[in-house]
């Protein structure tokens, strides 16, 4: 790992630690787990598993949207609905870029922030995928999501 990536990783961990202290570790750990969810959803779509099969195991989205996001299960389930919608209904950028977007979007939501729709951010996220290093990609995704 390059020196600049180590510094960025340390900064990211510091920010996540501060977030966990302000929100409780349940929200943060739920959001971080979405990276694996993204990978799984993309793989299942590639294998031809229908969208309806993917969402059939989740609580209804309209119910989850009215929750207070205090339960990691609710946080993950709502974000899973959105990940499935994004992956199945729209073009997705680079997998790692989209995974970082999903995690960041979840953190913004748990923190009470406003989340922009995926469709509005897609072109910026696609540009982030053209960048060469993971840290620069993550910074690009964060900037696109928060501006």
Neighbours of 4 (CB within 10 A): 11
Q: How many CB atoms lie within 10 A of CB 28?
A: 24
Asked if residues 91 and 118 have their Cβ atoms less than 8 Å apart, the reply is no
**Interacting residues of 104 by C-beta distance below 8 A, sequence separation 6+:** 141, 142, 145, 146
pLDDT tens digits for range 78-129:
899 999 999 999 988 788 999 999 999 998 888 888 888 888 999 999 999 8
Per-residue pLDDT of 22-31, as tens digits, reads 344 567 888 9
The whole-angstrom distance between residue 40's C-alpha and the CA centroid of its chain comes to 13
- Which residue, chain included where needed, has tokens 């969208």? 51
- pLDDT of 46: 93
């Amino acid at each position: 790992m390059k020196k600049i990536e180590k510094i960025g990783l340390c900064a990211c961990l510091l920010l996540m630690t501060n977030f966990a202290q302000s929100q409780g570790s349940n929200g943060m750990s739920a959001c971080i787990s979405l990276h694996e969810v993204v990978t799984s959803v993309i793989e299942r779509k590639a294998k031809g598993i229908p969208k309806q099969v993917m969402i059939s195991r989740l609580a209804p989205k309209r119910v989850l949207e009215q929750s207070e996001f205090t339960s990691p299960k609710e946080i993950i389930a709502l974000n899973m609905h959105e990940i499935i919608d994004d992956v199945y209904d729209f073009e997705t950028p680079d997998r790692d870029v989209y995974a970082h977007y999903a995690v960041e979007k979840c953190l913004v939501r748990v923190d009470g922030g406003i989340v922009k729709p995926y469709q509005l951010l897609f072109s910026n996220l696609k540009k982030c995928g053209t960048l060469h290093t993971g840290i620069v990609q993550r910074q690009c995704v964060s900037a696109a999501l928060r501006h």
